[in-house]
Chain A
């Protein structure tokens, strides 16, 4: 059967080639082909013609594999062996064949055997000197020629001697250690080309699946690594502030943020107050309107209305925050000045309003998902009892969707606290503690954005800004974890 001939995984391998490589013939051939192409690219024509011949043989095996099915595995093996040998020799030949010019000025190619000394004796009897780089190259090539096949065979045997269960585990420690050792040794000894060569030989040995699956596992860790790295860098650059500052408590309780005064004052209360004020305004405006809109879209809107409304709100989600900030700074500020007759053009109300605009798509879409997830039978039973649409929404749907809506609000809260560009442009940036929403404030995020550009690396000011970052990060992480908990608890209820 073809599958057995090819040695499909999970099937008992029959053929000799599969016993050696442990993988289907095609995988081996593909790996060998790529190797050949690399060799040709690196070495060029010339003695590399041997490499080309080997590559052609292997390519032939690959193209004709369907015809090979009816031949014995031994034939395939012999073809592959021959092709692989030619490939090996072709790759390394340029190293061991050297072109020298003899006394008469004619060039000739000689085969130099190790150990290569500083001169070579021609058949005519003359001795021709060789440069050290040339002798180094010759010795290295012979080393590779001798070492690589034996390493490859050893690796194959090692890998195939393991029981299948151990061999196929995702974190296969012996294989990983062996691979790493082999690659490092060749990197140190024969050099980088040997390592690359062995890597591809390894693909031939164990098959591409092995490497792909482990590569995938590595990528999967990237998200964890990324968040860990973020925490690490923030703590590393920010925590020293608490130790180098002579009065760390002032950081949390002081109400003056003047990093450039003498002595510098780092009290973050005005900044926290700015963030909180703007967030409060944004939530006060944004949450009711968003939830109202979500109820309308989820409950009362017809299908055609829904099809138009949902994409339009998603458009708002895609507008970059700088553009919203520009809009708030250049247009909205004037509008508020006209309506409320404020004395300051850029103020907390402006920032809060534009943040509410940014909240609309987030809270609306997540709440609407939650409202849609409420099972139809709950609604229908309420309608059957004679409830109006709003009564159903208020007494049945909203309580059922409450946790989804709560997590939407929390996610919106996290977004508000962490938003930078829009509030940077809209709030006026005055680090003052006051409760008048029509006066400018400065948020923590805006402080970082403004002051980071002019701060000497490693100074107390630099570290204080990283401390602000730590604070922001912690708040958003906590809010996200709580929101996630609520969502998962909400999923457990059985929807």
Chain B
């Protein structure tokens, strides 16, 4: 009889013993199910988080909550100014980030020298990894203090949007880059063969092809920008504003900041808790809608690419 771990030569056919085969089968079933357990754990965590927030937040999700400003020491009423502030600051952020990011990606893919491409690629990767609180410090030190003292503005929606746009820039650049790189070389070469300019090829061939991908990146960054709190704490978000800001140089209320402030700095935590959950649910709705739209767009874009 062969020893454990070796093959048995039986009738000229080599095979492992029944013990070894049983062990392999057991190990395989064990590890496959362990990894299945890992996935199940993650899914369970997601369900619990989403379920709990929605469960606690749904009672507050009334029309009054969405359209009324907070009253009574922020413990009653709604979060309408925060919603408006979020929409405004995210819109402003997209106005800054989208053109810059898209043109930067166009430059990176088509115009840049390979060495420059590498440097910019490193710069973008590092920008993507900077902690959000460091963005907040940067926004404070640069936009609010340095530029603010030079041009005469203080912490306001403008500076917050600038800070958020730099936060979001790597996402836009990377997704746009991927979208542009996905355009088949044959289409571009055909356009060049017809005598087109570099920019003309970009404008007529590449950009229309990659528009869905760019849109995905834009929507993803909207979701990201709406959910970030740390960059805007010092660069313009306010705990309470009597009315919706009239100009971009006013402070503003924002949903994620509102969640944080009500959760940690309210003077009546028990009464503030429903407001926190309600606001969290509003923010979650917005972000999840954006993400779902981006995922659907990306799926359609990928199927078009393949087909």
Contact = CB atoms under 8 A, between A and B. Distances in A.
B35 A9 contact: no
B133 A420 contact: yes
Nearest to A331: B52
B226 to A, nearest CB: 8
Nearest to B49: A327
B82 interface: no
A485 to B, nearest CB: 10
Interface of A is mostly: helix
A390 interface: yes
Interface of B is mostly: helix
A354 to B, nearest CB: 9
Interface in A454-495: 457, 465-466, 469, 472-473, 476-477, 479-481, 484
Contacts of A289: 38, 41-42
Interface string B199-241: 1100000000000000000000001101111100110000000
Nearest to A213: B199
A279 interface: no
Given A326-B280, A388-B28, A315 B125 contact: no
B129 A414 contact: yes
Interface string A429-440: 000000000000
Nearest to B128: A480
Interface string B136-179: 11101110011000000000000000000010011001000000
A449 B52 contact: no
Interface string B113-129: 00010011011111111
Interface residues of B, number: 90
Contacts of A212: 199
B183 interface: no
B87 interface: no
Contacts of A295: 35
Contacts of B120: 220-221, 223-224
Given A220-B108, A484-B122, A237 B53 contact: no
Interface string B1-33: 000000000000000000000001101101110
A322 B223 contact: no
A432 B140 CA distance: 28
A82 interface: no
Contacts of A44: none
Interface string A383-416: 0000011110110000000000000000100110
Interface residues of A, number: 92
Interface of A: 3, 8-11, 170, 209, 212-213, 215-217, 219-224, 226-227, 229-230, 233-234, 236-237, 288-290, 292-293, 295-297, 300-301, 309, 311-316, 318-327, 329-331, 357, 360, 364, 388-391, 393-394, 411, 414-415, 417-421, 424-425, 445, 448-449, 452-453, 457, 465-466, 469, 472-473, 476-477, 479-481, 484
16 contacts: A209-B199, A220-B116, A222-B100, A226-B166, A227-B126, A229-B142, A293-B41, A311-B295, A319-B227, A357-B45, A388-B28, A389-B28, A414-B129, A420-B133, A425-B260, A452-B137
